[in-house]
Structure 1
Amino acid sequence: MRRVGQIIGLKPDAIETYERLHAAVWPEVLATIHACNIRNYTIFRHGTLLFAYFEYVGEDYEADMAKMAADPKTQEWWKLTDPLQEPVESRAPGEWWAMMREVFHTD
């Protein structure tokens, strides 16, 4: 199992819309998340920063993320949510959500 932490900004005028959308995530999007081996997926908000945490239980992270990106319903969802977000400047090339480095964990 791989733990993943990510961060992205949220446009200040988009907070209400973003939270409303995530209060009723489409079942097809949730099914794709599960089919792509993501578990325990959580998004937290602090002001205009979003922090996402999930556990990846698959064998090929890149292939599963490509599978998710190719899903038509997920693409439709991202057309609604992506314009509400503001990627952080420190993200790596090609990243939308910036990957975070794990520095501590305990069970």
Structure 2
Amino acid sequence: MSIVRCFGCVVRVKPEKVDYYKQLHANPWPEVNAMIKACHLRNFSIYFKNDLLFSYLEYVGDDYDADQKKMVAHLETQAWWRETDPCQQPPDCEP
């Protein structure tokens, strides 16, 4: 039985990209959603307020590193990130 690992993150959306970011997430690409499930992620939610995104997800697999490598290698997910990443400002914190 897998242990559920929970993750959260806060990121600021660039003010000039808010509308585009919302448009993208109103219709996420089916291939990306399928990869999220294939990588054992569930309850992936994004909340938006005052140009801030709070994302939450749960990981229910047995090998997080392998599943992350699988997602990173997925061409459609890479294309999705090329659309969404320019909308976001890097966080101001150290890991």
- TM-score normalized by the length of structure 1: 0.82
Question: Unpaired runs of 5+ in structure 2?
Answer: none
Structure 2 CA distance for aligned equivalents of residues 60 and 7 of structure 1:
24
Q: Which residue of 2 aligns with 1:76?
A: 79
Q: Which residue of 2 aligns with 1:30?
A: 33
Deviations 1:49-76 (A, max 9, x none): 1110011000111211111111000000
Asked if residue 5 in structure 1 is aligned to residue 23 in structure 2, the reply is no
Amino acid in the other structure paired with 1:49 = L
Q: 1:15 aligns with which of 5, 18, 33?
A: 18
Q: Map 1:20-99 to 2 at 5 A.
A: 20-92=23-95
More helix by share: 2
Q: How many matched pairs?
A: 92
After TM superposition, the runs of 4+ consecutive aligned structure 1 residues lying more than 3 A away are none
Report deviation, 1:16.
0.6
Report deviation, 1:91.
3.7
* Structure-2 change in CA distance of 1:38 and 1:64 (3 Å): same
Amino acid in the other structure paired with 2:5 = R
Structure 1 CA distance for aligned equivalents of residues 94 and 50 of structure 2:
19
% of aligned pairs identical?
A: 47
- TM-score normalized by the length of structure 2: 0.92
Amino acid in the other structure paired with 2:74 = D
